[in-house]
Amino acid sequence: MVSGGNASSLPLVGGKPEPTIKELSSPGRRASNFPKLDVPEVKINHESLKKEKARLPEVSEHDLVMHYSRLAHRNFAVDLGFYPLGSCTMKYNPRFADSIASDSRFANIHPSMPEEFTQGCLKVMYEIGNYLCEITGMDYASFQPPAGASGELTGLLIIKKYLEINNLINKTEIIVPDSAHGTNPASARMAGFTVVEVETDARGMVNIEKLKEIVNENTAGLMLTNPNTGGLFEEEILTISQIIHNAGGLLYYDGANLNAIVGTSRPGDMGFDIVHSNLHKTFATPHGGGGPGSGPVAVKEFLKDYLPGPIAENKDRKYNWYQPENSIGRMHGYHGNFLVTLRALVYMKLLGKEGLDTLGAYAVLNARYLSSKVSKIIPLAYDEPCMHEFVTSVKDLKKSHKIKAYDVGKALLDKGFHSPTIYFPLIVPEALMFEPTETQSKETLDDLADSLKSIISDLQQEDIVLEDYPKNLPVGRPNELIPAKFLTVNWGDFELLEITE
C-alpha cells in the first residue's frame, strides 16, 4: 500500500513502536466516568438494539490525548511550515482573530436567541456585509454559503431564479473557461445549466475570439475567476463583460483569488453582477473545504431579492434579520458559520483600510519574487507577470528524466515544505502551482527556491528511484486510489484490505 518513506523514523513510544488505538485498548479502561445513577434504571427492549457490545477501544483519557496528539504532530500545518498550495491559499490565521472568536459572548450564543439579546452579533454581520460590498464593488451580501463552492451554487441559483422571474427561460447555457476550478462547471450543472467551455489562449487568458463564437441568445451567463487559475489578471476583462452583457447574460465572478486584487480593483467595477469570496483566502480565516468555512455571495442591487437569508439590516438604530422577498432559500442553517465570519471582520478591522489596500500588493510581490527564482529551475507555464500565484510545468523533465509533478511534490516534503498544488489547472501538463501568500518572509521564499533546485538536481541522478521519495517521513506514498475507490473506515475491513493488496 505504501512505497517510499521511512517507517523506522516513526517515534518510539515507551521504547516500542507507536501503538494503534486498538493496541492501547484494555478492557474496562475509560476516558470519562459518569456519576452513579440516582434514578431508576430503565431497560430498553427493542428489536433494533445491537445484540453484542460495540468493539470500541477502551482507553484512559491520558492515553487518548497522547494518541491523538502524536497523530496530530505528524501532520503538516500552516503553523509548522511553508504551505505554498496554489489556488487553495493556505495562509496564516492570526491568533488575535481566534481570541475574539473564542470569547464566550460570541462563542456561546445560541443562534435562535432573539434579536434584542444578540444586537452585537447582528452588528458583526451587518458591518462585514457593508465592508465586503465596499471591497467587491457590490450592493448586498449574504453570508449563508459555508464555502466557495457553495457560494458558486448560490450565485448560479440566483441567476436561475432571475431568469425564471424575467421569463428568460431560453437562457440555459453557462460559459466556463477550460482553466476553471472544477467546482465552477459542477456548480453550474447542479443548478441545472448546460456548461459550455471556452478555451484559454496561449498567453493563459480567455480566448476572446472563441468567446464571441460561443455566446448566443441562450447564454445565461459566464463564470470567471480573476486573477484566473494561471495566476494571471484577465487583461480583456472589460471586453469580456461587455460581450456577455450584450447577449443578455449575467456575470459571475469567482472571487477565490480576491486576495490578489483587494484594495486595487473591484469585480463590481469590472461589470460583474455576482461575486463569491472565500473568506479564508483573503481574510485569513480557517479553511473549511466545502464545510465549516465561509463563501459569502455579494450581488448588485437588481439581484438583492434573490439572496439567501437571513441577512442583517439596520433599521431605526436597531439591527434585525430579514429574508429577501424572492429568496432562493437557505444554503445553511441559521446565519452561516458565524464565528468564521467574525474572524474575517476582526482581520479587516485589524488591518484597517491601509492594511487591506496593501495586502494584495504584498501577495503579488511575494509571488513575483518566488516566480523569478523558480522560473530559473522549472519553466513557467505562461511567460506573463503573475499575480498572487504562478504555474510551472515539468513536462520537459518528464520527457527527459521521467520526473513527474507528483515526484517533485513528494520530494519537497522531505525538505520540510508542503507540496505546491499539482496537476491544476488541468490545461497545463505536469503543473506545479505555487502560492506564497503575503505572510511569508523573503528568507522562506529563498529557502523554497534553494530546496527546489537541489531536489530537481537529485531527481535527475541516474541511480535514484523516484518512488523512494519522500525518504525521511514516516509515511511515503500511500496508495491514493484504493481509499478513494473503496472507502473503509472500519479497522477490521482495513486489515482485510491490506491482505488482499
Binding site for ligand PLP (CB under 6 A): 87-88, 147-149, 181, 183, 225, 229, 254, 256, 278, 289-290, 293, 295
Comparison of 118 and 285: residue with beta carbon closer to ligand PLP: 285
Taking the complex as a whole, the smallest distance from the CB of residue 256 to ligand PLP amounts, in Å, to 3
- AA letter at 295: G
CB of 266 to ligand PLP, least distance (A): 18
CB of 278 to ligand PLP, least distance (A): 5
Choose between 181 and 343: whose C-beta lies nearer to ligand PLP: 181
- Measured in degrees and rounded to the nearest 5, phi and psi for residue 241 equal -65, -35
Coil, helix or strand at residue 500: helix
Q: For residue 156, which of 22, 51, 250, 45 has the smallest C-alpha distance?
A: 250
Q: Decide whether 183 or 219 has the Cβ nearer to ligand PLP.
A: 183
For residue 315, give Cα distances in angstroms to 111, 116, 131, 402, 500.
20, 13, 18, 65, 66
Q: Which is nearer to ligand PLP, 84 or 148 (CB)?
A: 148
Between 200 and 225, CB nearer to ligand PLP: 225
Q: Residue-wise over 311-320: b if at least 16 C-beta within 10 A, else e?
A: bbeeeeeebb
Question: Among all residues, whose Cβ is closest to ligand PLP?
Answer: 148
SS3 399: helix
Length in residues, the chain: 501
Q: Residue 351 belongs to what H/E stretch? A: helix 338-374
Q: How far apart are CA 306 and CA 158, in angstroms?
A: 6
Distance of CA 267 to the CA centre of its chain: 20
Asked if 234 and 226 count as a contact pair (C-beta separation under 8 A), the reply is: yes
Query: CA 255 to CA 277: how far, in whole Å?
Result: 5
Instruction: Measure the CA–CA gap between 370 and 363, rounded to whole angstroms.
Output: 11
Which sign, positive or negative, has the C-alpha torsion 247, 250, 255, 256?
A: negative
Q: Which is nearer to ligand PLP, 88 or 311 (CB)?
A: 88
219/294 with CB nearer ligand PLP: 294
Minimum separation from the CB atom of position 259 to ligand PLP (A): 11
b (16+ CB within 10 A) / e for 13-44: eeeeebeebeebeeeeeeeeeeeeeeeeeeee
CB of 334 to ligand PLP, least distance (A): 19
- Using CA atoms of 81, 422, 424, 142 in order, give the dihedral in degrees to the nearest 10: -30
The three grid cell numbers given for residue 287, joined into one nine-digit string: 479553511
- Shortest Å, Cβ 280 to ligand PLP: 7
Whichever of 17 and 333 has its CB closer to ligand PLP, that residue is: 333
Q: How far is the CB of 84 from ligand PLP (least distance, A)?
A: 14
Smaller CB distance to ligand PLP: residue 171 or 343?
Answer: 343
Whose Cβ is closer to ligand PLP: residue 153's or residue 220's? 153
**Closer Cβ to ligand PLP, 59 or 339, answer by number:** 339
Closest CA to 437 of 93, 76, 80: 93
Per-residue CA distances from 462 to 87, 413, 466, 470 (Å):
34, 21, 10, 17
Assess contact for 303 and 274: CB atoms under 8 A. Answer: yes
C-alpha 154/C-alpha 162 separation (Å) is 12
CA separation, residue 388 to residues 99, 238, 352 (Å): 28, 21, 21
Q: Return d(Cα 180, Cα 184) in angstroms, integer.
A: 6
The nearest distance, CB 149 to ligand PLP, in angstroms, is 3
- C-alpha cell, 143: 453570508
For the bound state, the minimum distance from the C-beta of residue 289 to ligand PLP, rounded and expressed in Å, comes to 5
Shortest spacing between CB 252 and ligand PLP, in angstroms: 11
Q: How far is the CB of 87 from ligand PLP (least distance, A)?
A: 4
The minimum distance between CB 294 and ligand PLP, in angstroms, equals 9
Do 129 and 140 contact (CB within 8 A), yes or no?
A: yes
Nearer to ligand PLP, 230 or 309 (CB): 230
